Amino acid sequence: MSTGWETIIGLEIHAQLSTETKIFCGCSARFGDQPNENTCPVCLGLPGALPVLNRRALVLGARAALALGLHINPQSIFARKNYFYPDLPKGYQISQYDQPFSANGELEIMTAERDEAGHPIEWRPKKIKITRLHLEEDAGKNVHEGLPDVDRYSYIDLNRAGVPLAEIVTEPDFRSSWEAYDYVNQVRRSLQWVGASEADMEKGNLRCEANVSVRRIGDEKFGTKVELKNLNSVRFMQRAIEFEVARHISVLESGGRLVQETRLWDDRKNETRTMRLKEEANDYRYFPEPDLPPVIVSPEFIAEVRSTMPELPEDRRKRFIGQYGLTFADASQLTSERSLADYYENAAEESGNPRATANWIRSELLRELETADLSAAASKVSARDLGALVRLIDEEKISGKQGKDVLVEMFKTGKSAQFIIEEQGLVQVSDVSEIDQLIDDVMNANPQQLANYRAGKETLFGFFVGQVIKASKGKANPKVVNERLRAKLQV
């Protein structure tokens, strides 16, 4: 990329709050039902129908706001955002405007640029200012595919109309596509963590838009900004931003001019294209929704919501590092999901060895879970059983190598480590005379290597360890093998 340019990115996230019913009526908010099955006069926008705020949406909105470090306003107001679109039967969306539900947040994210292979280079903290989180209803959906005569008709499914959303808007604080990427992932995790939203981009219950511009380093004025939509995954968003930044710089460096517009990401072509030129700002003619009273939030309400929230992911990551001596990478991965963090703490308590437990989960269990496409909560190996396995290895009842096979068996059968060890007659051989015998056999079978080792080729030590372990069928205690080999090879 050309140097001398600075990238400016702001993000908007729409997250569907995990309520059973819609925000202003009692219709189900379920995804995937028959088209228009979940509708009523309120969400169809029939004249005379009156909205009533769903209290659960308020509670989940508060959880989301607190999880992202926002201040909840004592009073907020619903407003009508007027525009015409076929999926919006009322002709306006009930949203919030100048008095949002919550504002002035600051979220510390961990972020890193990536190398060519996509690996993080160096993690560092960065504070992102969140301008606001407000509540609003979703619109319906126009369907242009998979139905008869779609060349002549558009279809409208209003099941989604009135589903509660939290819109989360940041300041233009991001300076690279990877910062934006890391932020969205952290917001997703936080919302899932506190149960505010499923935040699943594939299901469409988390959508994001990016405002992107560039300016010469040192300039104060922002460049012309482009809004990116249709970003169906966090990875697509990152690639779309990267594409736009390169396009802006190349247009500007060749003396061209950018226009303010909305562009879509086309994943097949790996490029963005114009969706529409920006209409005039402020043409929504917002005004307060006369059918809904102001939302009054008391300090008691906030305290009550807070008291039911779990320890937040960032706090928990820091605690894992401090309390258990984990590395940043270990602690980050183990707090990537709440169920995994719970699993880890239970397993570590059982094993009495938090660091070894972290290693076993990261290197062995997660691979099995990934292959089986399961979450830690759904694992056949309970946290207690995994902890017990780590303890048996620590106590040298079985070797680490045997432990790996035992874990695979535990994962297949759901049996405990102790049970499998007894069933298969697994024991770690630590008996010195037995191991000495194995070493003698190996030395006799490899006279050339032995001569070379004694002549100074010390790298052959590993070869002898491997041969002895192999001869024991993996049962020999590696520590004893090492000690005895050192002694016997010297002779």
Q: Which residues bind Zn ion (CB under 5 A)?
A: 25, 27, 40, 42-43
Of the pair 165, 471, the CB lying nearest Zn ion is at 165
In angstroms, rounded to a whole number, what is the distance separating the alpha carbons of residues 68 and 170?
Answer: 11
Q: Where are the alpha helices (DSSP H) in 36-174?
A: 55-67
CB of 195 to Zn ion, least distance (A): 23
Of the pair 54, 357, the CB lying nearest Zn ion is at 54
Quote helix, strand, coil % in the chain, to nearest 5. Answer: 40, 20, 40
CB of 182 to Zn ion, least distance (A): 37
In angstroms, rounded to a whole number, what is the distance separating the alpha carbons of residues 489 and 124?
Answer: 48
Of the pair 57, 226, the CB lying nearest Zn ion is at 57
Query: b/e for 63-94, b at 16 or more Cβ within 10 A?
Result: bbbbbbbbebbeebbbbbbeeeeebbbbebbb
CB of 50 to Zn ion, least distance (A): 12
What tokens were used for 222?
């922002």
Of the pair 52, 487, the CB lying nearest Zn ion is at 52
In angstroms, rounded to a whole number, what is the distance separating the alpha carbons of residues 481 and 468?
Answer: 7
Residue carrying structure tokens 């506190």: 194
Of the pair 40, 112, the CB lying nearest Zn ion is at 40
What tokens were used for 467?
């041969």
CB of 22 to Zn ion, least distance (A): 5
In angstroms, rounded to a whole number, what is the distance separating the alpha carbons of residues 70 and 167?
Answer: 13
Q: At a CB cut-off of 8 Å and minimum separation 6, what does 214 contact?
A: 5, 6, 7, 8, 223, 245, 248, 249, 252
CB 215 within 8 A of CB 252: no
What dihedral angle (degrees, nearest 10) is formed by the CA atoms of 462, 466, 471, 474? 130
CB of 49 to Zn ion, least distance (A): 9
CB of 12 to Zn ion, least distance (A): 26
CB of 162 to Zn ion, least distance (A): 6
Looking at the chain, the number of H-run helices and the number of E-run strands are: 16, 16
Of the pair 31, 222, the CB lying nearest Zn ion is at 31
CB of 16 to Zn ion, least distance (A): 16
Closest CA to 193 of 5, 62, 336: 336
Q: At a CB cut-off of 8 Å and minimum separation 6, what does 487 contact?
A: none
CB of 25 to Zn ion, least distance (A): 3
Of the pair 88, 252, the CB lying nearest Zn ion is at 88
Q: Is 241 helix (H, G, I), strand (E, B) or coil?
A: helix
CB of 7 to Zn ion, least distance (A): 42
What tokens were used for 442?
């190996």
Of the pair 107, 158, the CB lying nearest Zn ion is at 158
Q: Is 488 helix (H, G, I), strand (E, B) or coil?
A: helix
CB of 33 to Zn ion, least distance (A): 13
Of the pair 10, 162, the CB lying nearest Zn ion is at 162
Of the pair 25, 376, the CB lying nearest Zn ion is at 25
CB of 23 to Zn ion, least distance (A): 10
CB 104 within 8 A of CB 122: no
End-to-end CA distance of the chain: give it in Å, rounded.
62
Of the pair 58, 191, the CB lying nearest Zn ion is at 58
Q: At a CB cut-off of 8 Å and minimum separation 6, what does 32 contact?
A: none
Q: Where are the beta strands (DSSP E) in 253-400?
A: 261-266, 271-277, 287-288, 295-296
Of the pair 17, 426, the CB lying nearest Zn ion is at 17
User: 427 — phi, psi (to 5°)?
Assistant: -145, 150
Amino acid identity of 152? R
Of the pair 43, 212, the CB lying nearest Zn ion is at 43
CB of 31 to Zn ion, least distance (A): 15
